[in-house]
Amino acid sequence: MLGGVTVAKSDPSRQASRRDKAVAAAWAKLREGDLAAAEGSLSEVYQKAKHDPEVLFLLGVIALNGRKIKRAEEFARRSVEALERPDSLLLLAQAQRQLGQTDACAESCARALALRAGFEPAIEVMAGALEEGGRYDEAEAAIAPILERARSGGAAAPQGMLDVAAKLAIQRKRYNEAIETLDGLLTDESLAAQSRCSVLYSKAKALDRSKRYEEAFKAAREANAIGELPFDPERYAAQVATLVENWSAEHMTDFPVSSCDSETPVFIAGMPRSGTSLIDQIIDAHPAASGVGELASIEHFAYQLSAAYDHTKPPPACFGRYDRFRWTRVAREYVKQIEGQAPEGARRIVNKALGNNKLVGLIARLFPRTRIIHAIRDPRDVAISCFMGGFNNRLHPWTTRLEWAAEAWEQSRRMMDHWKATLDMPILEVRYERLVADPENEFPRLIEFLGLDWDDRCFEFHKSRRTVRTLSYDQVNRPLYTSSSGRHVHYASMIEGVKFPSYEV
pLDDT for residue 221: 96
Burial of 438: CB neighbours in 10 Å, binned 0-12, 13-18, 19+:
exposed
pLDDT for residue 462: 84
Mean pLDDT of the region 138-154: 93
Q: Are 258 and 331 in contact (CB under 8 A)?
A: yes
Res. 254 pLDDT band, cuts 50 70 90: very high
pLDDT for residue 477: 55
pLDDT for residue 12: 45
* Residue 138 lies inside a defined structural domain of this protein: no
The dihedral through the CA atoms of 397, 399, 405, 408 has a sign that is: positive
Say how far apart CA 128 and CA 204 lie, in whole Å: 19
Mean pLDDT of the region 246-254: 94
pLDDT for residue 250: 93
Greater confidence (470 vs 198) lies with 198
Q: Are 88 and 104 in contact (CB under 8 A)?
A: no
Q: Which of 395, 404, 476, 393 is nearest to 198 (CA)?
A: 393
Q: Are 391 and 220 in contact (CB under 8 A)?
A: no
What is the distance, to the nearest Å, from the Cα of residue 78 to the centroid of all Cα atoms in its chain?
A: 24
Greater confidence (322 vs 471) lies with 322
Q: Which of the 8 DSSP states describes residue 458?
A: G
Q: Determine the structural domain holding residue 24 and report its residue range.
A: 1-117
* Residue 229 lies inside a defined structural domain of this protein: no
Greater confidence (15 vs 34) lies with 34
406-459: pLDDT as tens digits: 999 999 999 999 999 999 999 999 999 999 999 999 999 999 999 999 999 999
155-171: pLDDT as tens digits: 888 999 999 999 999 99
Q: Which of the 8 DSSP states describes residue 354?
A: T
Same domain, 239 and 90: no
Q: Which of 285, 426, 408, 296 is nearest to 352 (CA)?
A: 296
pLDDT for residue 460: 93
Same domain, 419 and 279: yes
Q: Are 253 and 365 in contact (CB under 8 A)?
A: no
- Which distant-in-sequence residues (6+ apart) come within 8 Å of 232 by Cβ? none
- pLDDT of 17 > 90? The answer is no
Say how far apart CA 159 and CA 452 lie, in whole Å: 47
Q: Which of 387, 254, 230 is nearest to 315 (CA)?
A: 254
* Residue 164 lies inside a defined structural domain of this protein: no
Q: Where are the alpha helices (DSSP H) in 342-458?
A: 356-366, 379-389, 402-422, 432-437, 439-449
- pLDDT of 15 > 70? The answer is no
Say how far apart CA 151 and CA 184 lie, in whole Å: 14
Tell me which of 85, 100, 117 is where a domain ends.
117
Same domain, 109 and 244: no
27-77: pLDDT as tens digits: 999 999 999 999 999 998 898 888 999 999 999 999 999 888 889 999 999
pLDDT for residue 156: 84
Mean pLDDT of the region 125-143: 95
Phi, psi dihedral angles at 474 (to 5 degrees): -85, -5
Tell me which of 117, 139, 157 is where a domain ends.
117
Say how far apart CA 390 and CA 290 lie, in whole Å: 27
Say how far apart CA 126 and CA 103 lie, in whole Å: 9
What is the distance, to the nearest Å, from the Cα of residue 295 to the centroid of all Cα atoms in its chain?
A: 9
* Residue 146 lies inside a defined structural domain of this protein: no
pLDDT for residue 394: 75
* Residue 495 lies inside a defined structural domain of this protein: no
CATH number at residue 440: 3.40.50.300
In the chain, the percentage of residues whose pLDDT exceeds 70 is: 93
Mean model confidence pLDDT for the chain = 92
Res. 202 pLDDT band, cuts 50 70 90: very high
* Residue 467 lies inside a defined structural domain of this protein: yes
Tell me which of 117, 150, 183 is where a domain ends.
117
Say how far apart CA 463 and CA 432 lie, in whole Å: 20
Annotate 25-50 with b (16+ C-beta within 10 A) or e (fewer). bbbebbeeeebeebbebbeebbeebe
Our CA dihedral for 477, 483, 485, 491, rounded to 10 degrees, sits at -120
Mean pLDDT of the region 148-154: 90
- pLDDT of 399 > 70? The answer is yes
Annotate 361-384 with b (16+ C-beta within 10 A) or e (fewer). bbbbbbbbebbbbbbbbbbbbbbb
pLDDT for residue 404: 97
Mean pLDDT of the region 180-207: 95
Say how far apart CA 284 and CA 277 lie, in whole Å: 10
pLDDT for residue 116: 97
CATH number at residue 109: 1.25.40.10
Q: How many domains does the structure of the chain reveal? A: 2
Integer CA distances (angstroms), 206 to 11, 131, 169, 181, in order? 46, 15, 9, 11
Same domain, 472 and 330: yes
Same domain, 308 and 451: yes
Provide the 3-class DSSP secondary structure of residue 102: helix
The amino acid sitting at 65 is N
Say how far apart CA 110 and CA 112 lie, in whole Å: 5
pLDDT for residue 475: 56
Please state the length of the chain: 505
- In 3-state terms the chain splits into helix, strand, coil percentages (rounded to 5) of 60, 5, 35
pLDDT for residue 419: 98
- pLDDT of 10 > 50? The answer is no
Res. 484 pLDDT band, cuts 50 70 90: confident
Same domain, 313 and 458: yes
Q: Which of 464, 391, 474 is nearest to 128 (CA)?
A: 474
- pLDDT of 273 > 90? The answer is yes
- Which distant-in-sequence residues (6+ apart) come within 8 Å of 200 by Cβ? 182, 186, 219, 220, 222, 223, 226
pLDDT for residue 1: 44
